[in-house]
Amino acid sequence: MTHPRLRERFSILDHSTFLVSHSMGAAPSGGRQKILEYWDNWNNTGISAWDQWMPFVDECRRDLGQIIGAPAGSVAFHQNVSTLIHSVLGTFDWTSSRNEVLVSELTFPTLKYCLEAMSGSGLHFIRVPSRDGIGHDSSDFTSRITDRTALVLIDHGIYRSSALIEIPPIVKVAHELGARVLVDTYQTAGMYPLSVTDWGVDFAVGGSHKWLCGGPGAAYLYIRPDLLGKLRPQLYGWMAQREIFEFAPGVQPADDARAFMTGTFGISSLYAAKVGWETILEVGILSIRKHVLFISHQIIRLAQERGLKINSPLNDDFRGGQVCVGIENAREIEYLLSKEKILLDSRPYCGLRISGHFYTEEREVLTCFEALDSIIKR
């Protein structure tokens, strides 16, 4: 159940029905003060602010690592996942015979964009078809891994259906056949109790503006610790150096994941994000998952009572945080609901995407569907 003290930290809940945490988590009020702290460091100490900023970045790596089950030194940051994906792709030799990447046909578009942009390097990506247009069995991937597979790129949660993909069986087969695995946790981190270490994946990426309530600009990359020092990213900058303020004349990569942090990154974004991460850790991801599922049950029930199609798995074990409700003119309905301060979103092929977080009350779901009734009757 939600707790009034927790809801009070998110002022947007006072004047809206917020059912869109799967796309943009509510802003915690403490984030404002944290951003001001960044400003004060910069304003009061000038260039000396770096003496506070870099230790702060290490604090952030520890916090984020706790959420995704990763050692702090295995985490790197950048403003967006696209840059981090390219950083990982740059560690492969795409001119070799092992030059294929498997990716779901349902994957978030930016992942396909990254792969397509690399096609001139020799990379070949193979779209793995979905059997039902909603999700995947792990065998959809494992059956296609060969000695030509360099990388399997998997969405833990499918953005347009909320379907979850079981990761460990894919990792097992990939590693047996000499391939690596990169998992996008953007749709699940902060809502689902995951551990990249337990999965055994080689890489994982994600961002902070969804379930982590951390705003945009604080994306992360996990690299399996035993790979650190063996991989040499081609996307490189001074923040990746072992000693960033020595300004050495040649490349000297850091001996941990900072070797993937390229050049100067958005320090202010990390200040905003850290409050969200700390809140997630305070509430507890197991508790969050339980409440998100409770709210999801209400969404499914109310949608089915109205004869609406559910474009998400009905089994809790296979569904992420949002429920995708099939309805005509979803984008127009999203707009009309927003005018009534009911916030959700829509996507092609799935309809309306609706979700709750730990701060969502059951009554808010009913408010949404009652407003939906009124729109449909017009």
At 332, the pLDDT band (50, 70, 90 cuts) reads very high
Q: 26 lies in a domain?
A: no
CA-to-CA separations, 289 to 123, 293, 320, 321, 339, in angstroms, rounded: 37, 6, 9, 8, 29
Query: Percentage of the chain with pLDDT > 70?
Result: 99
Does 336 share its domain with 260? no
Are β-strands 75-78 and 219-223 bridged in parallel, bridged antiparallel, or unpaired?
Answer: antiparallel
Does 236 share its domain with 89? yes
Are β-strands 149-155 and 100-104 bridged in parallel, bridged antiparallel, or unpaired?
Answer: parallel
At 119, the pLDDT band (50, 70, 90 cuts) reads confident
Mean pLDDT of 102-129: 95
Does 105 share its domain with 224? yes
Mean pLDDT of 225-234: 93
Tally the C-alpha atoms within 13 A of residue 23's C-alpha that lie toward its C-beta: 16
pLDDT of residue 117: 93
pLDDT of residue 220: 98
Does 129 share its domain with 236? yes
pLDDT of residue 72: 87
At 378, the pLDDT band (50, 70, 90 cuts) reads low
Structurally, the chain folds into a number of domains equal to: 2
Lowest mean pLDDT among 5-9, 47-51, 167-171, 256-260: 5-9
- pLDDT of 340 strictly over 70: yes
Q: How far apart are CA 46 and CA 42, in angstroms?
A: 5
**Average pLDDT for the chain:** 96
At 377, the pLDDT band (50, 70, 90 cuts) reads confident
At 4, the pLDDT band (50, 70, 90 cuts) reads low
What DSSP line would sit under 66-89, residue for residue?
HHHT--GGGEEEES-HHHHHHHHH
Q: 86 lies in a domain?
A: yes
Q: Which of 246, 280, 314 is the last residue of a domain?
A: 280
Q: Which of 262, 280, 298 is the last residue of a domain?
A: 280
Does 94 share its domain with 194? yes
pLDDT of residue 180: 98
- pLDDT of 5 strictly over 80: no
- pLDDT of 2 strictly over 90: no
pLDDT of residue 272: 95
pLDDT of residue 140: 98
34-68: b (≥16 Cβ within 10 Å) or e: bbeebeebbeeeeeebeeebeebbeebbebbbebb
Q: 364 lies in a domain?
A: yes
pLDDT of residue 376: 86
Query: Percentage of the chain with pLDDT > 90?
Result: 95
CATH of the domain at 189: 3.40.640.10
Q: Which of 247, 280, 313 is the last residue of a domain?
A: 280
Residues 261-309 pLDDT 10s? 999 989 999 999 999 999 999 999 999 999 999 999 999 999 999 999 9
Does 158 share its domain with 239? yes
Does 265 share its domain with 288? no
Q: Which residues pair with 183 in a beta bridge?
A: 154, 204
At 133, the pLDDT band (50, 70, 90 cuts) reads very high
CATH of the domain at 290: 3.90.1150.10
Mean pLDDT of 328-348: 96
Domain that holds residue 333: 4-19+284-377
